[in-house]
Structure 1
């Protein structure tokens, strides 16, 4: 994958709905971040956040938790499986350290996922849980 090219993932084929943002200059080799929003759960805020992290030289996967094809339609009983699939994909791509970044309800999800996936998740950033 070209450093400037972003890759899109879908639940049906990849197990999660997201878009990967790879910086042109990687300032944090071997590290990647999965970011997701709060109760809105869609991809738009995650994309904006991922672009900010990408601009700082960090590979970031913008993830949707709800409201996309193959995901719940509201932030209720949100499954951990898509986060697990996303973290595994990043590890398979060679990222040794994977962190989660979530805000509000997404912060709660990040804390739960981090506790349930200790072998896959190395850090959790919970903003306003």
Structure 2
């Protein structure tokens, strides 16, 4: 029986590490997207994915590491809070920018719009 528990514990460690590594990959991809994407709205998309999916995967990895305890319940509640508020906040910021008059970049490359004097 103790061998089964040892294998189960090792499996949970592997799943935990995989979830956290995947979360870090999404956070890094979102950070690169925020730096490289051309306009505000595409950057908001990258930031929203990072906030939601990256943070949730890291939380899942932490929950698996914590086991069945009060700490895992607290982490799950924090994860639920992030899951509910992050997309809402991203939408609210993007909607506020749109209502303020910020237009999305509709061309593929920004230098093309500079060549024709900004007329599109």
TM-score, normalization by structure 1 = 0.29
Larger Rg: 2
More helix by share: 2
TM-score, normalization by structure 2 = 0.30
